Structure 1
Amino acid sequence: MNFNLLKKEIKFTYKSSILWTLLFVLFTSMYIPISNQLLSQSGDLLKFINNMPRFLLESFNFNEQVFTKPEGIFGSEGMSFVYILGAVFATMLISNVFAREYEKGTIEYLCVKPISRSTLYITKFINIIINILFLNIIFTISVVSMYAIFMEYEYNPEILIGFGIYSFTVQIFFSSLSVIISILTQNSSSNMGFSFAILIFMSFGDTMANIIDATSWIKYFSIFHYIPLTETVLEEKIFWINSIIIILISLGIYYFSYYLFKNKDINI
């Protein structure tokens, strides 16, 4: 690994990552206090939920039992948004690290320097991991802190840690997909287009699979099915093994992308 190159990579991405981290922190600082207020008025909230059509409840992941638990409101609706926001962050991060370097021709310049493609790829990979780790560590700390400050009801802190693990898992997975798409297309627009299409398929596909029996097969192709928020809250169980498997699959995609990066010609 080339430390000078790593410093350059970090310098190129740290401002964007800090802004995204602030966005995650601001989201938790607004959502968790509201969750506490909603929980204090859970009777009225449950009456409202019970009057909603079943199809609509399942579409938006509303569950009566979930809304009676302190981790429930943030852990269902809030974390669903964090999943999507995290996938978008990961995709845009990779666009900056890989795709735009192809577009601007800077990747070609780096490849003719006395730096091997292996070193270049590994350095970029380490930078990606640093950025994702930084965001999720701060995000997890903010969630735990906001619960400690604002939540007046007894809750399970381990579940909050699980939310941070899930967020990290989603971002690692979508970053790995985005890397391979960036290397194949060498274009940031294509990268974001394909990545967002996969995100929509997995997110809404998982929702539709739970509503319409004919589409139930779709959920098996969505990572969100394997790190379910409702089950995590209701069963107070973190799906560690599933998260680890998704992370390992993501690292496998990164490893395959490494060989593509070493051998694929750069479009001029």
Structure 2
Amino acid sequence: MLLGREFRRNLKGLVIWSIIMAGIILMYLSIYPEFAKSQQGMEEMMNTLPEGMKKAFGMDRLSMGSLLGFYGIEIHLMTTLLGSIFASLLASNIVAKEQHEKTIEFLLSKPITRSSIITQKLAAVVINVLLFNVVIVAASLLGFQFSKDNDVSLETFFLLESAVLLMHLTFASVSFLFSAMLKRTRSVVSMSLGLVFITYFFSIISGVSDHLTWLKYVSPFKYAEAAAIISDRYFDPLYISIMGAVIVCCALFAYWYYSKKNITV
């Protein structure tokens, strides 16, 4: 079964990335109690930072003195950026590698349709991204226990993590489309990672400059911004709709293009 094969082939990468991410989360949350003891000094230090920097990273709306505020400032960047890189790398290789490794003719010689190939490979991507996000949530909930004053609103936390998951799936879907369209894995990986870093840059710029706030609409990082979700306890339906539309459109276009693609090795 192709789905099982793809899952086994990507299992090592999933485990490595999950261990790294869980380690980062637990490390940061383990030192939070020491940060909390010097809350006043931390607040004074943050007040010395430029307003643009504080606004770009949500420090103007979140407090390092609260556990969830600390999570949103220090850890959320890691879960979004590293998670998006993981999702993009996974999806960008999964289809294009068949041509790059010259295994596509063997695969198509089996009683399997192109539609089934795309379906099972897409399912493998979704399963891996879901499992990776389960690790993020589990490590975070475990790390919260390091703090005696555990005042985390689980409803807000899960709202934040649902935004992170949706963002990871957005990058994965775009990278999956690139993988279905292109032949060379190096080109697909470059485009996918370039998209992640460019949109991350856009999210920072949109927070710093009042004249470039429109850039937030082309950056999933802004859609899953911790400051807005934690402070307002609200995940904008517009952002949900945009990411949902991107995911569905990329998947459908990948099906359509791959079914008509001239596959040569």
Displacement of 1:224 in angstroms is 2.3
The DSSP-based 3-state class of the residue aligned with 2:9 is: helix
Q: How many corresponding residue pairs?
A: 265
| Structure 1: 5+ residue stretches without partners | none
Percent identity between matched residues is 22
Displacement of 1:252 in angstroms is 2.3
Cα RMSD (Å) of the superposition? 2.0
Query: Do residues 260 (structure 1) and 234 (structure 2) align?
Result: no
Correspondent of 1:14 among 11, 14, 17: 11
Displacement of 1:167 in angstroms is 2.3
Query: Do residues 207 (structure 1) and 207 (structure 2) align?
Result: no
Report the AA paired with residue 13 of structure 1. N
The DSSP-based 3-state class of the residue aligned with 2:188 is: helix
Q: State the distance in 1 between where 2:140 and 2:238 align.
A: 22
Report the AA paired with residue 108 of structure 1. E
Correspondent of 1:86 among 83, 86, 90: 83
Q: State the distance in 2 between where 1:18 and 1:167 align.
A: 19
Displacement of 1:124 in angstroms is 0.8
Residues 33, 146 of structure 2: 8 Å contact kept: no
Residues 90, 174 of structure 1: 8 Å contact kept: yes
Seen in structure 2, the aligned counterparts of structure 1 residues 37 and 243 have a Cα distance that, compared at 3 Å, is farther
Report the AA paired with residue 160 of structure 1. F
The DSSP-based 3-state class of the residue aligned with 2:221 is: helix
Query: Do residues 77 (structure 1) and 40 (structure 2) align?
Result: no
Query: Do residues 220 (structure 1) and 183 (structure 2) align?
Result: no
The DSSP-based 3-state class of the residue aligned with 2:59 is: coil
Report the AA paired with residue 228 of structure 1. E
Residue in 2 that maps onto 1:111: 108
Correspondent of 1:35 among 28, 32, 35: 32
The DSSP-based 3-state class of the residue aligned with 1:68 is: coil
Residues 100, 187 of structure 1: 8 Å contact kept: yes
Q: State the distance in 1 between where 2:212 and 2:238 align.
A: 26
Correspondent of 1:234 among 227, 231, 238: 231
Q: State the distance in 1 between where 2:33 and 2:144 align.
A: 9
Q: State the distance in 2 between where 1:136 and 1:151 align.
A: 25
Residue in 2 that maps onto 1:147: 144
Displacement of 1:64 in angstroms is 6.1
Q: State the distance in 2 between where 1:245 and 1:214 align.
A: 22
The DSSP-based 3-state class of the residue aligned with 2:95 is: helix
Residue in 1 that maps onto 2:49: 52
Q: Normalized against structure 2, the TM-score is what?
A: 0.91
Higher mean C-alpha displacement, 102-111 vs 233-242: 233-242
Displacement of 1:31 in angstroms is 1.3
Q: Normalized against structure 1, the TM-score is what?
A: 0.90
Seen in structure 2, the aligned counterparts of structure 1 residues 227 and 56 have a Cα distance that, compared at 3 Å, is closer
Correspondent of 1:96 among 81, 93, 96: 93
Deviations 1:117-176 (A, max 9, x none): 111111111111111111111211221121134352422112222232122112111111
